[in-house]
Structure 1
Amino acid sequence: MNLVTAIENFKPWNEQEEYDKLLMLAELKNNPQAFDRESLTVHFTASAWVVNQNKDKILMIYHNIYDSWSWLGGHADGDQDLLHVAIKEVKEESGLTEVTPLMEDIFSLEVLTVDGHIKHGKYVSSHLHMNVTYLIEADETAPLSIKPDENSGISWYTFEEGLERSTQYWFKEWVYPKLNKKLELFKQNKLN
């Protein structure tokens, strides 16, 4: 299924996802450059809510640019298969070699603001990330390794510890709690 169809079929869980879905569909229709970093205003990205096999812990990295513990993920860089992007990013950022999507469908949608920053010695202007999140499982006993150009730490945390570790207000107050609530519904087979 292509991304437009996947987003059209996505059932928003709350008002944030409802409005972000509309914005993403408009960008997909009107901004063919949105899958490339050359777009000045919008980049499509994929993130992963990586859970252990018991689904009681999440994997987080210490993100160097955001200076905070964070989920895993990255830019589409031209790839419109965002599940593929999410899996690739998890492997690159964590050193994990085996990860399993718990569902092929989109788990969550978020439009995220990104402040201007320096990356690889070059200034990147403030912009939006049209972020598609997938639910992915990994073995918490598998070896982990950091990706020094992007993160400086990686660890499994309980949901409460993960929230406590994050210093990004929007993520801590809105995104991560939503993902944890949706995960609880998924575990109960109640996430439609």
Structure 2
Amino acid sequence: MKHIDLLEAFRPGCEQEERDLELILSLAHADPLGILTRRSLTAHLTPSGLIFNPDGSRVLLVRHNLYGAWCWTGGHADGDPDLGAVAVREAEEETGVPVKLLSPAIAALDILPVYGHRKNGTYVSAHLHLCPSFVLIAKEEVPPRALPSENSGAQWFNLADIREASGEAWMYPIYEKLIARAKRYR
């Protein structure tokens, strides 16, 4: 499914998602390829996923190099209009664990600020990540591993420990949405 079709099919669960969807769709219709690639320097699509174990009691998080916090997986679409496939690919690259989509539908939608920073020796200006999120499933039997270019670790956490592990207060409401929506898919 093309990225615009997938975005248009998303049903917001709160006012924040309604407003973010309006903005993302306006950007998508104005420049469909720009938000799908990094050609748009101000905002681009970065599908993410929260990885649950099969019974939904634990999540697999990575220790993000840039933010120094335990967080979900995700990355730039880089031209791929299959946003769910991007979320799966990023999760597998960042953890070394095979994952699958619990549902092909976008589970949550957020716009996240990225502050100016250096990456690979080059300055990256502040911009927005247009973040469709997916619920992913993985078996705990496969030991996770870090992807040093992206993170310094990958580890399973009990749901009750996500807030403390993350340390990013602004991210916890997103995780809460994904936890609640994952329960509806089951």
Which residue of the partner structure matches residue 49 of structure 1? Answer: 50
Give the structure 2 partner of residue 178 of structure 1. Answer: 177
Give the partner amino acid of 2:82.
Answer: D
| Helix, strand or coil at the partner of 1:55 | coil
Instruction: List aligned pairs for 1:1-192, cutoff 5 A.
Output: 1-31=1-31, 32-96=33-97, 98-172=98-172, 174-187=173-186
Structure 1 residue 38: deviation in Å? Answer: 3.3
Q: Which runs of 5+ in 2 are unaligned?
A: none
Name the amino acid aligned to 1:171. M
- Residue type at the aligned position of 1:148: P
Provide, for residues 110-147 of structure 1, a one-character-per-residue CA deviation record: whole Å limited to 9, x for no partner. Answer: 11111111111111111000111111100011121100
**What is the TM-score with the length of structure 2 in the denominator?**
0.95
Distance 1:27 1:46 in 2: 16
Instruction: Give 1:166 deviation, angstroms.
Output: 1.0
Query: What residue identity is the alignment partner of 1:10?
Result: F
Is the 2:135–2:178 Cα contact (8 Å) retained in structure 1? no
Provide the rounded CA distance (Å) in 2 between the counterparts of 1:186 and 1:87.
17
**Which residue identity is paired with 2:46?**
T
Question: Helix, strand or coil: the match of 2:153?
Answer: strand
What amino acid is aligned across from residue 48 of structure 1 in structure 2? G
Decide whether the 8 Å contact of 2:50 with 2:136 is kept in 1. Answer: yes
**1:42: how far off?**
0.4
Shift of 1:177: 1.6
- After the TM superposition, list the runs of 4 or more consecutive aligned residues in structure 1 that deviate by more than 4 angstroms: none
Alignment identity in percent? 38
Q: Deviations over 1:60-90 (max 9, x none)?
A: 0000101111000100111111111111101
When the two structures are aligned, how many residues end up with a matched partner? 185
Partner of 1:190: none
TM-score after normalising by structure 1 = 0.92
Distance in 1 separating the partners of 2:169 and 2:45: 21
SS at structure 2 position matched to 1:170: coil
Q: CA RMSD in A?
A: 1.2
**Higher alpha-carbon deviation: 30-39 or 77-86:** 30-39
Structure 1: distance between partners of 2:109 and 2:162 = 20
Deviation of 1:23 after TM superposition, in Å, equals: 0.9
Give the superposition deviation at 1:158.
1.2
Deviation at 1:39, TM superposition (A): 1.9
Q: Give, in whole Å, the separation in 1 of the partners of 2:27 and 2:101.
A: 26
CA contact (8 A) 2:61 2:70 kept: yes
1:1-45 deviations in Å (ceiling 9; x for gaps): 322122112111111111111111011011231122232100111
